[in-house]
Amino acid sequence: MPNRDELKAGRRIRLLQQMRNTNSSWKPIEERMTAGLEGTIMMANFDGPPSWHQVIVTWDNGSHLNLLPYVDVFEVLPEEKE
């Protein structure tokens, strides 16, 4: 998992592995959330135990599915220089 300080609003991220839903037997794979998909962090919440942590993302495919930082495999993209 990337450093928490990198997971701030406005940063861009990229999935390195398709998202999986480990709590669902009927939909274990999030079909639209494939490796390579990018999005913009809206907010990160690290309150409570690690299993509650989540990163709220607006994905480039229109999805608003939250990222689970201790489950999903992703990278924070380098900040663009102006």
- How many C-beta atoms surround the C-beta of residue 3 within 10 A? 7
How do 74-76 and 54-59 pair as beta strands? unpaired
pLDDT, tens digit, for every residue of 19-77? 887 766 767 778 889 999 999 999 999 898 888 899 999 999 999 989 988 889 999 99
Q: What is the pLDDT of residue 58?
A: 97
Mind listing the domains of the chain with CATH numbers? 4-76 (2.30.30)
User: How is residue 36 annotated by DSSP?
Assistant: T
What's the predicted TM-score (pTM) here?
A: 0.85
